[in-house]
């Protein structure tokens, strides 16, 4: 066993180093690499990717994982056991799927995003159809190869992205949303509140917006020694260790709130990884445990902290100081209502807090049908539009605004979308639990977000990936996942 | 031969990729990597460095170089021949120096810069003495191991940094400076011109300085698609290919000219590498051919273009526009005199154009003595101070401002300093040749630096490292190195 552990650790050290350089290249690429250098960069990356593949698929490494997994009882360290379980799970795909099919799929998805992007641009679903059919076919075979007594079909894809969450949980969750939320949304979005033209038509100079985002870094105590803020086309968080987790935002001069909520959202992600116990930095357990838990942190920071009146009572004066002319006469109450308005809309990434999960629900139902075979790929546009109308109350006029809007399926990511909705629901449950132990609104009014950071660190962040989403929810909230908190939270907030 | 070429090219491709990632990490480190991440980064880099070493010292790669070098006559491609010659030269050290000594030296210098920095901070030469003695001893052995019929002693070190330049050339060069420049400097620096307090005591907001540096990028046509400008503690250029060569500058609010001339200086370096023929990007011939030629480009851009009256006639109004209050009443003529003032000073990196080469001369004489053994390491401080007084006319009061000021020797870089002076002298000769073909002052007054870029591209830049410094000088100026141009240039400029 000693030798297998040594082998495993030696490979892990190498793999972590290669990942670091891949991570750095992608960060550079998204934030500043000169435009003309893309081909050169890609060439260097291909060499590295080949080297990396050789290491990750080295027989002695795979053998070590296999041996360790089959002798888990001989391993004392609980975290190391968890890591080996994860590694073994990763191994199964390599072992059980014929190499030819796996490689053909990788080649396919490496080209598919271009095909998708072109099809979207040209609003031409037919152009994407043959590619998407192949992807879905692969996924349908994939789940057959990987099925076990416990997991079959779409559940395998769901569990890949959110351990322990399968159709049983998601069906109950989305059923609740359909029953409780869909009618409520129709009611809320029927009202059409009016806002000052200063908010809806104003121009907010970029330099001042940068100053406010920099200000937010200090408000949220996002550690500048372990991270930094830059700009990119689409905001994202990019972390590689508890000492290096960076974020980006994007400044639109015709929209002052976009950069603010992107910055807060990404800080939610970043603070999670920065507050991981540093002992995980050299292991594969560093990082968020799942997409859903990750999104729960970003959404909680963005929506529950960042869109609250308590928060803006303290920080709105600073915003007005930076935009004295632009916000003159706009009260904090009006600003608060403005940032919490709800509208039925077509595009998921632009959807507000109330309607967001309904966009996800559309995708969940479609993916389920694709994997069982009840829905044919060619029928997706029609089915998409029907479900959008049913859940969100709007019907896309084009596929560009409909089934072609998201990149995920072109990357082979089926089973991913549901985690977005789950994250928001986790957030409500966690927020509720936190409020039993600290008075969050009071802490916001005292400008003491450190107290909130400290709570989530203790209950969620420090564990990194060493606990599953279900385990974390139990630790943080003392109960299993319960979507009632989410529905209650939204109804309470949007009833007003 | 075919197989050796294939092997060589396969290794080259890999080595280039590893260098790319090393380059990227160092760029990130110097410009933005979060402070707390240094240990983590270093750990990843060590893994990569080990991988890289394995590849660079792989027997089949070394064998391929060896075979190709001994059958150069069978290689048609001139550039490939040059590359193999360079590679073989690099091999000699690995082959001829006992591995133990080489590794001991690498370990020594990896620690030496810390020891030097501490000794400098504490103004304690004795603390650095034992380390420097070991470094010099290694270098004295090094030249013995590597000596050939043509090259011996200090010449080997000089040739390592500037191919084809040995004591014969440098002695003649520095002799000329001693005869013609030393008395001239004493004369010029005896005058004490006065400048407006606005220039000497003004405060120039950082944000406006950034705008002027961004403006300079367009003036010099430094291609934003192939480079970018950021800030770092010390300005530098960092290039990895003709499509990616980045620069930094540093903004001091109490000094408006520092960032300007750093930006122009680094653009001189960057434009050189960006204008390398792209066919060299995938070879080891990409990049400047030598330190001296590289410095000739940066110095020419900085001093001959950037400090000229023709240049400022066009661009001073822009500077005044950005600093209307700060520069009110300061004429372009006074500004021009201010940026070309000369003073005797102690620190090389702060020295002006006229006195700079004399600082270098001090180091050259000392290095020569160290390698021949005529100068003992322990006597360096005394000798340093004496030569500084003799050449520059000032005597350091402390070793911190004297022999301990530069990092180079702690890195084992003996033979490097002379290239700094050579670069300035090359620049004068190249500038003179360029003026025979285009009217540089006229182009500057027409704000047409593209014409200047085009000339140096054709005569120097496009060749990358495929020509030696001596070959390039002949191509660009039609004659061998001639320091008379440098002396004439300085006398003409500072006589006024």
Could you write out the three-class secondary structure of chain B?
CHHHHHHHHHHHHHHHHHHHHHHHHHHHHHHCCCHHHHHHHHHHHHHHHHHHHHHHCCHHHHHHHHHHHCCHHHCCCHHHHHHHHHHHHHHHHHHHCCHHHHHHHHHHHHHHHHHHHHHHHCCCHHHHHHHHHHHHHHHHHHHHHHCCCCCCCHHHHHHHHCCCCCHHHHHHHHHHHHHHHHHHHHHHHHCCCCCCHHHHHCCCCHHHHHHHHHHHHHHCCCCCCCCCEEECCCCCEEEEECCEEEEEECCECCEHHHHHHHHHHHHHHHHHHHCCCHHHCCCCCCCCCCHHHHHHHHHHHHHHHCCCHHHHHHHHHHHHHHCCCCCCCCCHHHHHHHCCCCCCCCCHHHCCCCCHHHHHHHHHHHHHHHHHCCCCHHHHHHHHHHHHHHHCCCCCCCCCCCCCCCCHHHHCCCCCCHHHHHHHHHHHHHHHHHHHHCCHHHHHHCCCHHHHHHHHHHHCHHHCCCCCHHHHHHHHHCCCCCCHHHHHHHHHHHHC
In what helix (H) or strand (E) does residue A238 lie, and over which residues does it extend?
strand A237-241
Report the residue of chain A nearest B243, measured CA to CA. Answer: A37
Cβ B44–A34 below 8 Å, yes or no? no
Tally of CA atoms within 13 A in the half-sphere of B108 that contains its CB: 22
Residue A79's pLDDT is 98
Mutation site for A-interface testing, chosen from B22, B31, B37 by largest number of A Cβ within 10 Å? B37
CB < 8 Å to B41, chain A: 20, 244
Bridge-partner residues for A230, per DSSP? A248
Please, what is the Cα angle at B351 between B345 and B352, to 5 degrees? 115
Pair type for strands B229-231 and A237-241: unpaired
Among the partner-chain residues A32, A48, A243, the one whose CB lies closest to the CB of B21 is: A48
Distance from CA of B15 to the nearest CA of A (A): 10
Distance from CA of A29 to the nearest CA of B (A): 11
How is residue A85 written in tokens? 């379980």
How is residue A203 written in tokens? 């121009």
* CA B222 – CA B217 distance, rounded (Å): 5
Please measure the distance between the N-terminal and C-terminal CA atoms of chain A and give it in whole angstroms: 62
Cβ B40–A243 below 8 Å, yes or no? yes
The reported pTM is 0.92
Report the residue of chain A nearest B49, measured CA to CA. Answer: A17
How is residue B311 written in tokens? 């240049």
pLDDT tens by residue, chain B, 496 residues: 899 999 999 999 999 999 999 999 999 998 999 999 999 998 999 899 889 889 998 999 999 999 999 999 999 999 999 999 999 998 888 889 998 898 889 889 888 988 999 999 999 999 999 999 999 999 999 999 999 999 999 999 999 999 999 999 999 999 999 999 999 999 998 888 899 999 999 999 999 999 999 999 999 999 999 999 999 988 999 999 999 999 999 999 999 999 999 999 999 999 999 999 999 999 999 999 999 999 999 999 999 999 999 999 999 999 999 999 999 999 999 999 999 999 999 999 989 999 999 999 999 999 999 999 999 999 999 999 999 999 999 999 999 999 999 999 999 999 999 999 999 999 999 999 999 999 999 999 999 999 999 999 999 999 999 999 999 999 999 999 999 999 999 999 998 7
Mapping DSSP to helix (H, G, I), strand (E, B) and coil, where does residue A245 land? strand
Mutation site for A-interface testing, chosen from B18, B22, B24 by largest number of A Cβ within 10 Å? B24
* CA A49 – CA A46 distance, rounded (Å): 5
Cβ B21–A16 below 8 Å, yes or no? no
Q: Which residue has the tokens 């990490």?
A: B25
Among the partner-chain residues B35, B41, B246, the one whose CB lies closest to the CB of A225 is: B35
| Dihedral sign of CA atoms B387, B393, B399, B403 in order | negative
Which one, of A410, A385, A424, lies nearest residue A173 by Cα? Answer: A424
**B266 an active-site residue?**
yes
Residue A110's pLDDT is 81
pLDDT in tens, B431-455: 999 999 999 999 999 999 999 999 9
In what helix (H) or strand (E) does residue A244 lie, and over which residues does it extend?
strand A244-249
Phi, psi values for residue B259, rounded to 5°: -65, -35
Q: What residues of B are in the A interface, CB distance below 8 Å? A: 13-14, 16-17, 20-21, 24-25, 27-28, 32-37, 39-41, 43-45, 47-48, 51, 223-228, 230, 240-241, 243-244, 246, 281-282
Q: What residues of A are in the B interface, CB distance below 8 Å? A: 13-14, 16-17, 20-21, 24-25, 27-28, 32-37, 39-41, 43-45, 47-48, 51, 223-228, 230, 240-241, 243-244, 246, 281-282
* Residues B338 and B209: beta-carbon distance below 8 Å: no
Domains of chain A with bracketed CATH: 1-96 (no CATH), 111-496 (1.10.1370.30)
**Class of residue A319 by CB neighbours under 10 A (exposed 0-12, middle 13-18, buried 19+):** buried
Mapping DSSP to helix (H, G, I), strand (E, B) and coil, where does residue A205 land? coil
DSSP-derived letter for residue A184 is H
Report the residue of chain A nearest B22, measured CA to CA. Answer: A21
Pair type for strands B237-241 and B244-249: antiparallel
CB < 8 Å to B17, chain A: 43-45, 47-48, 51
Which one, of B424, B455, B31, lies nearest residue B221 by Cα? Answer: B455
* Residues B354 and B492: beta-carbon distance below 8 Å: no
Please measure the distance between the N-terminal and C-terminal CA atoms of chain B and give it in whole angstroms: 62
Q: Which residue has the tokens 């920095």?
A: B117
CB < 8 Å to A40, chain B: 240-241, 243-244, 281
Among the partner-chain residues B14, B230, B244, the one whose CB lies closest to the CB of A37 is: B244
* CA A358 – CA A425 distance, rounded (Å): 12
Cβ A281–B40 below 8 Å, yes or no? yes
- Rounded to 10 degrees, the C-alpha dihedral A385/A388/A390/A393 comes to -120
* CA B434 – CA B459 distance, rounded (Å): 9
Residues in chain B: 496
* Residues A463 and A472: beta-carbon distance below 8 Å: yes
Which one, of A466, A364, A368, A412, lies nearest residue A97 by Cα? Answer: A412
Q: How high is the ipTM of this complex? A: 0.91
Among the partner-chain residues B24, B39, B223, the one whose CB lies closest to the CB of A28 is: B24
Q: Collect the ranges in chain A with pLDDT lower than 70.
A: none
* CA B425 – CA B411 distance, rounded (Å): 26
Cβ A35–B225 below 8 Å, yes or no? yes
pLDDT in tens, A443-492: 999 999 999 999 999 999 999 999 999 999 999 999 999 999 999 999 99
* Residues A357 and A303: beta-carbon distance below 8 Å: no
Bridge-partner residues for A241, per DSSP? A244
Distance from CA of B40 to the nearest CA of A (A): 8
Extract long-range pairs of B269-272: CB within 8 Å, 24+ residues apart.
Answer: B269/B237, B269/B239, B269/B294, B269/B297, B269/B298, B270/B222, B270/B227, B270/B237, B270/B239, B270/B245, B270/B246, B271/B220, B271/B221, B271/B222, B271/B297, B271/B301, B271/B453, B271/B456, B271/B461, B272/B297, B272/B298, B272/B456, B272/B460, B272/B461
Which one, of B352, B343, B336, lies nearest residue B190 by Cα? Answer: B343
Distance from CA of A234 to the nearest CA of B (A): 20
* Residues B466 and B285: beta-carbon distance below 8 Å: yes
Residue B398's pLDDT is 97
* CA A335 – CA A327 distance, rounded (Å): 9
**Class of residue B128 by CB neighbours under 10 A (exposed 0-12, middle 13-18, buried 19+):** buried
Residue B103's pLDDT is 85
Residue B341's pLDDT is 94
């Amino acid at each position: 066993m000693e030798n297998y552990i040594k082998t495993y650790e030696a490979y892990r050290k190498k793999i972590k180093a290669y990942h670091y350089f891949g991570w750095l290249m992608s960060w550079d690429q998204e934030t500043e690499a000169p435009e003309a250098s893309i081909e050169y960069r890609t060439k260097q990356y291909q060499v590295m990717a080949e080297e990396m593949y050789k290491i990750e698929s080295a027989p002695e490494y795979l053998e070590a994982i296999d041996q360790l997994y089959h002798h888990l009882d001989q391993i004392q360290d609980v975290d190391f056991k968890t890591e080996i379980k994860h590694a073994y799970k990763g191994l199964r795909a390599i072992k059980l799927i014929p190499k030819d099919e796996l490689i053909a799929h990788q080649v396919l998805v490496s080209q598919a995003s271009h095909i998708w992007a072109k099809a979207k641009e040209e609003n031409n679903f037919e152009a994407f159809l043959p590619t998407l059919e192949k992807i879905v076919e692969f996924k349908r075979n994939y789940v057959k190869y990987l099925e076990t007594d416990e997991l079959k079909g779409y559940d395998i894809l769901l569990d890949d992205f959110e351990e322990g969450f399968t159709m049983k949980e998601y069906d109950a969750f989305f059923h609740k949303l359909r029953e409780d939320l869909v009618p409520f949304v129709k009611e809320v979005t029927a009202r059409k509140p009016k806002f000052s033209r200063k908010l809806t038509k104003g121009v907010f100079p970029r330099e001042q917006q940068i100053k406010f985002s920099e200000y937010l870094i200090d408000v949220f105590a996002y550690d500048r020694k372990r991270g930094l803020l830059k700009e990119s086309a689409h905001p994202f968080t990019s972390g590689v260790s508890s000492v290096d987790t960076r974020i980006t935002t994007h400044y639109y001069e015709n929209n002052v709130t976009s950069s603010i909520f992107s910055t807060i959202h990404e800080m939610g992600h970043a603070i999670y990884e920065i507050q991981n116990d540093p002992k995980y930095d050299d292991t594969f357990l560093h990082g968020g445990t799942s997409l859903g838990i990750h999104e729960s942190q970003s959404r909680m920071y963005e929506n529950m902290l960042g869109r609250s009146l308590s928060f803006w009572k303290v920080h709105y004066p600073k915003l007005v100081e930076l935009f004295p002319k632009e916000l003159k006469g706009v009260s904090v109450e009006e600003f608060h209502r403005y940032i919490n308005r709800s509208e039925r809309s077509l595009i998921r990434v632009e959807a507000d807090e109330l309607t967001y999960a309904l966009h996800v629900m559309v995708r969940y139902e479609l993916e389920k049908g694709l994997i069982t075979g009840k829905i044919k790929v060619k029928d997706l546009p029609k089915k998409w539009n029907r479900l959008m109308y049913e859940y969100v109350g709007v019907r896309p006029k084009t596929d560009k605004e409909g089934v072609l809007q998201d990149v995920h399926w072109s990357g082979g990511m089926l089973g991913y979308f549901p985690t977005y909705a789950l994250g928001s629901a986790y957030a409500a449950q966690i927020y509720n639990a936190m409020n039993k132990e600290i008075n969050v609104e009071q802490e916001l009014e005292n400008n003491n977000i450190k107290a909130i950071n400290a709570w989530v660190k203790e209950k969620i962040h420090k564990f990194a990936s060493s606990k599953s989403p279900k385990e974390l929810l139990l630790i943080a909230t003392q109960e299993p996942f319960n979507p009632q908190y989410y529905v209650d939270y939204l109804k309470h907030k949007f009833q007003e």
